[in-house]
Amino acid sequence: MKRTLTVGKEQYEVEFTSQDGAMSLVWEGQSHALDIREVEPGCYSILMEGRSMEVLLDPVKSADPDSHGYRALMASGSYEFALADPRRALLAGGSAGAAGGGTLTAPMPGKVVKVLVAQGDSVQEGQTLLILEAMKMQNEYKSPAAGRVARLHVQEGSTVETASPMVELAAQEAS
């Protein structure tokens, strides 16, 4: 699952992957073996490539409303950072904009487990359009605005790659 990590004014693209129960972090093109365990609420034990660290994680307000802000307290100091979920940008005005038009694309590879709309259906803002399973998690994808389903690019059981079109929305026609 790709994320944009913002530390101060610097931005980094990071990706968490999981295969056969093993987790890794891809940071600046390099993959790092990773094991994370929550030992108590907000306290995490992290083992990364043989190095162990304990991190206390507190949510903080982020300047970007599409990001989740955190403060990490570690033995080496305190760090504030924000993580942006690419699905939020896609659903809140990325490629399927606030006017209701555009194409909802897959933010990660996965399998479409449920399609809840049909071509031609009118949809309301926040209405679930489909459910995509990725990394053993089911994610609901909702309409960013009222509109109409102009085209379905997927069906139940379809597999999608990152950036594959899933649902094309047309703007709501004025009455």
What residue spans in the chain does CATH classification 2.40.128 cover?
2-84
Q: What is the pLDDT of residue 68?
A: 77
Task: Give residue-wise pLDDT tens across range 84-96.
Answer: 766 555 544 444 4
Residue 118's H or E segment, with its range, is none
Task: Give residue-wise pLDDT tens across range 9-43.
Answer: 777 778 877 777 678 888 778 888 888 888 998 89
Q: Which CATH architecture has domain 2-84?
A: Beta Barrel (2.40)
Fold classification of 89-171 is: OB fold (Dihydrolipoamide Acetyltransferase, E2P) (2.40.50)
Q: What is the pLDDT of residue 81?
A: 80
Mean pLDDT of the chain: 81
| 10 burial level (CB within 10 Å; 0-12, 13-18, 19+) | exposed
Task: Give residue-wise pLDDT tens across range 122-155.
Answer: 999 889 999 999 878 888 888 888 899 999 999 9
